[in-house]
Amino acid sequence: MTQWNNNFPDSRFELEVPDPLKTDEYVLNMGPQHPSTHGVLRVVLKTDGEIVESATPYIGYLHRTFEKHAEHMTWPQVVPYVDRMDYLASMNNALGYALAVEKLAGIEVNERAQYLRVIVAELNRIASHLVFFGTFGLDLGAFTPFLYGFREREMILDLFEEISGGRLLYNYIWIGGVAWDAPDGWLEKVIKFCDYFEPKIKEYNDLLTFNKIFIDRTAGIGVIPEDLAINYGLSGPTLRGSGVNFDLRKNDPYGIYDRFNFNVCVGDGTRGVVGDSWNRYWVRILEMVESTKIVRQAVEQIPDGDAKETVPKNVRVPAGEIYFRTETPRGELGYYIVSDGGKNPVRVKVRAPAFSNLSVLPAVAPGTMVADLVAILGSLDIVLGEIDR
Amino acid sequence: MEAKEIFKKLQDQFGEAVQELNDEVMQPYIKIAPDKTNEIAQFLRDEEDLQFDYLMCLSGLDLGENLGVVYHLYSMKLKHKIVLKTEVSKEKPDVHTVANIWRTADWHEREAYDLLGINFVNHPDLRRILLPDDWEGHPLRKDYKPQKSWHGIPVTLDSEEEENDAVEQ
C-alpha cells in the first residue's frame, strides 16, 4: 500500500488508510423484469466488480399450477394447458402429451395425422429457433437479426393459422390424431416456404453467425463440459452444444421419426471451443436446416386419408403409468402420467427441458463478467412458461 | 441391461433395502427403501455395467395414504433405462437426497418438497422453488386446501362461492 503523505506538503492532511483496503461484494438483482431474462426470471448476482461470484436463479413467477389443473381435467382437456407451457413450441408440447397418452391407452393413430404432426412439429421447431436467433442477437446488442428472424417466423405462423386457427397456441394435436386435416393447397405452401427459407440460412450466417463482434462475445464464453452437462440433466441443443451426440428423435425414436433421413447436429468447435455459447447457438442454426429436410420428406411421403379418423370420442385410459419423452426445440420434454382408469389423470408431472437447462447456470456463472452472463443465459434458450408451469 | 438383472444386482448389494421388482407393467420398476436412496443411486451411477449417468425425471406424487418419489434413470453410454420408486408416510416424509449424485435432482427435489412436502434429507438447499417462501401447504397433495389470502391478495374464491350459496338459498 502506497503511503498517502510522502510528498504531501502538509501533514495535517495525513489520512489513515486501513490496510488492506476493505472491499465488499455487491449484490445485484437481475430481473424479474429484465429484457435478457426472456420472461420473468430473477437472478441474484454477487459480484466482485464486473466479475460474477455467484448467480442464484429464483423462478416461479409464471407458476400456474398446471399439474394441479391437469388432475381436474379430462384427458383431452389437458391439451390446451400443455400448449401454454412452452409457448414458443406449442405443437411440440402437445405432441409429447398426445403420444404419451396414446401409448398408455394403446390408441393407434391414422397415418396421415402422424405425418401432419411431424410437419407442424418441425415447422414449430424452426419457428422456435428463429425466435432464439433473433433474441440472442438482441441480447448481445445486434438488432437486425431479430427482424430477419421474425420475418420468416411470421410465415410459419401464417401456415399454422391456416391449419389450426391459432398463431401462438394451437390446440391442434389431439389424442388420437389432429384437430383438422390440412386445407387444400396447404402442403404446397409448406414446400414453398421451405424453398424460400433454405437460402435464408446463409443470410443469418453472414449477418450474425460469423460476425466478428458476435464471435468475440460468445466464443469461449460459458463453457459447459460434457460430463457436467449430463450430470445436470441438460438436453436438446444445450446438451449437443457440449459435443454429446444425443437426440431423442434418433436415440429413442417416437412417432414416425425413424422414417426420415436427417443428421443430429453437434457442437463441433467451428469457432470457439465445444460447449461454449457460440456452439450452442450453432447447433440451433444447423438444426433448422435438418428440420426443413424432415418437413420436405414428410410432405413427399404423406398418404391420403382422414386425419380425424382415429380421434376417439371418449378417451379411456386404463390404469397404469408411463414416462414418455420427446425432443422439443429446447430438449427432452418428459411426461410422467399416472392413470387409475378414471376420466382424468391422477398425476401429470412434466419434466421441462428448460427447467434442467437453467439449473446449470449457478455452476457456469462464477468467474464470468456480468455482460457474459447475459450471453450464457441467452444461449440456454429458456422459456419461463415451461420452467414455472 | 434388463430390469431383472438390475434388480438381482441391487439385491445382492443392498439386501432388504431393495424391496420388490414389478416387470409386468409397461415400464418395469424397482421399489427401494427411502433411507437408502442415496447409496443405491451412487451404486447405479458408478457401477461399470450399470452407469446410469442421466436422471431423466424425478417426480413426487400423492398416493393417498403415502407419498411417493419416482426416479426415471437412463444411461447415456449403455442406453438402458430403469425406474425406481420409493414410498414414505405423510407423517414422516423423509427421503434421502440424490442431489449429490445427479446435480439435476437438486431442483427436482426442491419442486417435490415445494408442491408435495417431501423432505429430502441432506439436500444442500431445500427451500421452496416455485411458490413464495411463506406459502402455506403443499398444493399437489390431494387434500390440499388453499389459503384464503396471501399478503392481502385473495387466493381462493370461497367468499364468492359463499355469496352464491346464500343467493341460492
Kindly give the confidence (pLDDT) of every residue in chain A, 389 residues in length, as a single tens digit, with 9 standing for 90 and above: 444 545 555 555 555 666 676 777 888 888 787 766 677 888 899 888 888 888 999 998 888 888 888 888 889 889 999 998 888 899 999 999 999 999 988 888 888 999 999 999 999 999 999 999 999 988 888 889 999 999 999 999 999 999 998 888 898 999 988 988 888 899 999 999 999 999 999 989 998 999 889 998 898 888 999 989 999 999 999 999 998 999 999 888 888 998 999 999 898 888 888 889 999 999 999 999 999 999 999 999 998 888 887 888 888 888 889 999 999 999 999 999 999 888 889 999 999 999 999 999 999 988 888 888 888 988 988 888 889 88
Report the CATH number of the B3-133 domain. 3.30.460.80
CA distance B73 to A236: 17
Query: Percent of chain B, pLDDT > 90?
Result: 20
Query: From the CA of A334, how many Å to the nearest CA of chain B?
Result: 7
Interface confidence, given as ipTM, is: 0.86
Domain layout of chain A by residue ranges: 64-360
Contact (CB<8Å) A389/B130: yes
Which of B59, B131, B139 is opposite residue A336, by nearest beta carbon? B59
User: In chain A, which residues have their Cβ closer than 8 Å to the Cβ of B106?
Assistant: 359
Contact (CB<8Å) A323/B27: yes
Cβ-Cβ contacts under 8 Å between A and B: the total is 80
Task: Look at domain A64-360 and name its CATH class.
Answer: mainly alpha
User: In chain B, which residues have their Cβ closer than 8 Å to the Cβ of A59?
Assistant: 129-130
A 83-112 residues inside an 8 A Cβ radius of B? 103-104
Query: From the CA of A164, how many Å to the nearest CA of chain B?
Result: 32
Whether chain B has a CB inside 8 Å of the CB on A231: the answer is yes
